[in-house]
Amino acid sequence: MSEVSLLGQPDVLMDFDRSEQGDLQTEEMLVNMGPQHPATHGVLRVILRTDGEMVLEATPHIGYLHRCAEKIGENLKPLQFIPYTDRMDYLSAMNNNQGYSLAVERLCGIEVPPRAQALRVIFAELNRIASHLVTVGCFGLDMGAFTPFTWCFREREMVLDLFEAACGARLTYSCIIPGGVTFDLPDGWIERLREFLDFFEPKVRDYNGLLTYNQIFLKRTTSVGVIPLKDAIAYGLTGVCLRASGIRWDLRKVRPYDGYEKYDFEIPIGLPGGTADRPECVVVGDCWSRYYMRALEMLQSVRIIRQALDKLPEGDIIAPKLKNLKLPDDEIYVEVENPRGQLGFYVRGDGSAIPYRVKARGPSFSNLSITSQVCRNCLIADMPAFIASIDIVMGEVDR
């Protein structure tokens, strides 16, 4: 065997092992997909072992966005660490704030006021919509459809305008903090939110007509990147990646937090035989079903927000007596359902104001781990579809 460096890249190798079948001769090649590549959704590097157009093996290489988030959390007070949780999964910062805040609250026995809980649910579900809009739009873009991308980002801008009015930021909010939320709603904000919900809900049907049932999109995503349920469980997949494979598991239902048990909503899952209107479309656990689960979840988020607005209580937005908070000599692990799956925080206190140990369990990291298992003997053109369907954010993978 000999190795030849291509374009001066020592890790891009050509393998001259040739297998002969009559006159047919094939060559294997190692190809870098990323870390700067439009279909990797961040600084992800995937090493592809290819034979022509076929991918024989795909190995993710991570760490290009590692920022020592957990070690930083062990050197700051909980309130000071909230802005760092924003930057783990920067597409769902509200949900990250919520997960870490819940861990600190349960460790310290802090009771969050009912109004703050309702505001958290509203913010978290709005952020879920904004995150899924990025996924749906970018998925279409990766498959060659540009218009859905512009439509989804148009609606996302409306959500970001609402967040800016509520807390002053459009991406990294630091809005949900231990004990409650930082700001109450400004005048007229609820009316603006209701107008957005009325405008947005019919738009999901437009996405379905433009992209979801588009024949080219179906050909690129159905029966591609299929994750069987047993593999999804074995690799620790959560969120849409797990539910699309056929199991109804959502922490908002099975382990409610912040009052989610008070809301009536459904958990979409992948089912054999397809959907009621398009029975031919769904192969359980494929790229299309993961895409479609997100479209359905946005409608459920609208449903939850409407209920929260209808019964939004009056009162305080922050628990009292948090100024000199000390973490008890104990430990806690809390998970929340963020747009990518189960986000967990382990916090260990030692009696001081700064945690002794902070550990995050990121859903994108676990969901990415199944890449080598799924992407065997697939086409190179299927790789962007698979990566888009698992919806990773590299800031949360690397932390």
pLDDT for residue 156: 95
- Residue whose C-alpha is closest to residue 270's, from 234, 228, 298: 228
pLDDT for residue 22: 57
Beta strand spans in 215-370 (E):
331-338, 341-348, 357-361
pLDDT for residue 282: 73
The residue length of the chain stands at: 399
The letter for the amino acid at 3 is E
pLDDT for residue 105: 94
Contact 265, 282 (CB under 8 A): no
* CATH 1.10.10.10 applies to domain 72-398: no
102 C-beta neighbours (distance < 10 Å), count = 22
Listed as ranges, residues in the chain with pLDDT below 50 are: 1-16, 18-20
pLDDT for residue 272: 76
Residue ranges covered by each domain of the chain: 3-61, 72-398
Can you name the residues that pair with 60 across neighbouring β-strands?
46
- Between vectors from CA 155 to CA 150 and to CA 157, what angle results, nearest 5°? 90
Burial class (CB in 10 A: 0-12, 13-18, 19+), 209: exposed
Count the alpha carbons within 13 Å of 4 in the hemisphere toward its beta carbon: 9
The C-alpha atoms of residue 58 and residue 41 are separated, in whole angstroms, by: 16
The C-alpha atoms of residue 201 and residue 302 are separated, in whole angstroms, by: 7
User: What is the residue whose two structure tokens read 């992800």?
Assistant: 44
DSSP 376: S
Phi and psi at residue 354, to the nearest 5°: -115, 135
Contact 174, 195 (CB under 8 A): no
The C-alpha atoms of residue 342 and residue 89 are separated, in whole angstroms, by: 12
**Mapping DSSP to helix (H, G, I), strand (E, B) and coil, where does residue 128 land?**
helix
Distance of CA 339 to the CA centre of its chain: 4
User: What is the residue whose two structure tokens read 């079948």?
Assistant: 21
For helices 287-310 and 382-390, angle between their N-to-C axes, nearest 10 degrees: 20
Give pTM, 2 decimals: 0.89
In Å, how far are 157, 254, 270 from 162, measured between CA atoms? 9, 30, 32
